[in-house]
Structure 1
C-alpha cells in the first residue's frame, strides 16, 4: 500500500506541529518545514516510523523552496497534501512605521503562501489538497495588526483564486481561519493573552466567545486532516472558520 505524503510548514510548534503529528499518526509520510532547526530535529524523532523529511528555512525564501523541491523529488517524487501553517505576528503602527517594516509580515506570509503552493503543485500529479491556515483576522480588525490582518485577508482570496486555477488538475484549495488558539503566538510582549484578565473578562466570563476557551492546536489540525481526506472531496475555495463561535456574536 502506498503511503500518502504531506508537506507541512510551520511544523516546529503550534498548529503546524499538531498537524505533522496527526498526519504522521494517520499513516502519512510528512516533510516538516520551519526556521527552527533544533525543534524540527526533535519533532522528527517524535514522529511514528515513516519516510519523513525535514526542510529547515523560511518558506518565503526561494532558496528554501528550491531545496524543498530537490529533497521531495529525490525522496518521494510526488506529493498529496500541503498544509501551510507558517506565519508570524508583530505589532505594526501603520501611521508611523517605515513601509519596509510594515511590509515585512505581509510579504513574508504572502510570498511564502505563493512559493510553497507553487512547489506543491509541481508534485501533485493526480489531484491533491492544499490548505492554508489563515485567521479570523482576515475579516476582522485589531489595533496595531493591520499588516497581519491584510496578509490573512489576502491569503483567503488567494485560496479562492487558486481553487479556480487548479480545479482542472483536481487540486482542492481551502483555508482554515482559527480564532484564539493556545500556541506561542498567543504570547504578546511577554504575556500569554489567554491568561490575561482581559481574555477572562471578555471571553470566559463574558459572552463574546460561546465556548469560553481557546482552541487546542490539535483541534485545528483535525480540520486540516478532514480537508485533506476523502470526505472533503467537494470542498474547494472555502475559508473554514474554526473559532469556538467567536465571530457569530457581538
Structure 2
C-alpha cells in the first residue's frame, strides 16, 4: 500500500525538499502552504502520481478545516506529518509592537498546535510526526525572542505528543537545523545572510561552523525521511540537531 505524507510549508525550502524526497521514494504527498501557486508548482514537479496541493494559512481555522476535509476525502488516513512552517522576523523583546512580535508565535507555535489537533485524529497507528524547528529552541540571537520561544515551545509540544500518542505507537520528534540555504535566509534588505561577509567571517573563517559551509535543504529532508522509516522505530520525543557542528563550538 502506498504511504502518504502531509508536508506543511511544503512548497519552499526544507519543506519542498522534503516533498521531493518522499515523492521520489514512492509516497503520495500533500503539499500545503500559504501560497497556492507555489504548492501547485511543487506538486507538478514531483515524481510519481496522486500528489495534492492545498493552500493553508495555519493561523486560519477555516483553512485548516478545509485541509482536514481534503485529507479525509483524498487520503482517508495518512502516515507522516512533517511541519516545516516558519517565518523569520527580528523584533526586540521589549521595545517592539506586540502584535508584530507575537506573529512568530501565532504562525509557528499556535499554527502547529491547531494543525496537529485537526490532523492527528486521521494519522495511522504507528505514524510519525516531525516538526522542523531550529537550533534557536535553545540558542539566542539578538531580536530572536519570539522566534526562539516559538521553536522551544514547539519542541516541548512535540515531546508532549510523544508521551500522549505512545499508546498508538505514533512517534513524534523534532529536527533542529542550523544555517540552511532557503528563502528564509533572505532578509528584509534582500540579502541572503549565508552569502554575506559577516557570515563568512563569523562562522567560517573563525571556525564557529566546523563543516565550514551552509546546509542544504535536502540534508534536512533526509533526516525527516530517516525519522519516518523503520530505523527510527525506537525514537520519540527526540531533537535531532542538523547544524554542521555549529552548536558544539563557543
The SS at the match of 2:78 is coil
1:165-195 residue CA offsets vs partner (Å, 9 max, x unmatched): 1101111000000000000111112111111
Structure 1: segments with no counterpart, 5+ residues: none
1:111 deviates by: 1.2
- 1:24 aligns with 23
Structure 2 contact 80–128 (Cα < 8 Å) conserved: yes
TM-score between both structures, scaled by the size of structure 2: 0.97
Name structure 2 gaps, 5 residues minimum. none
Look up the match of 1:221: 221
Report the more deviating stretch, 211-220 or 199-208.
199-208
Aligned position for 1:155: 154
Aligned to 1:144: 143
1:135 aligned residue: 134
TM-score by length of 1: 0.97
Q: Deviations over 1:179-224 (max 9, x none)?
A: 0000011111211111111111112211100000110000000000
2:105 touches 2:146 (CA, 8 Å); kept in 1?
yes
Does the CA contact (< 8 Å) of 2:5 and 2:27 recur in 1?
yes
What is the SS of the residue equivalent to 1:126? strand
Equivalent residue for 1:239?
239
Query: How many correspondences in the alignment?
Result: 249
Structure 2: distance between partners of 1:184 and 1:105: 17
The question of whether the paired residues in 2 share the 8 Å contact of 1:32 and 1:53 is answered with yes
Instruction: Say if 2:199 is the partner of 1:196.
Output: no
1:37 aligns with 2:50: no
Check conservation: 1:79, 1:120, Cα contact below 8 A: no
Does structure 1 retain, via aligned residues, the 8 Å contact 2:82–2:131? yes
Match of 1:81 in 2: 80
Cα distance in 2, alignment partners of residues 27 and 113 from structure 1? 26
CA RMSD of aligned residues (A): 1.0
CA distance in 2, matches of 1:10, 1:69: 16
Distance 2:106 2:66 in 1: 20
Superposed displacement of residue 59, structure 1:
2.0
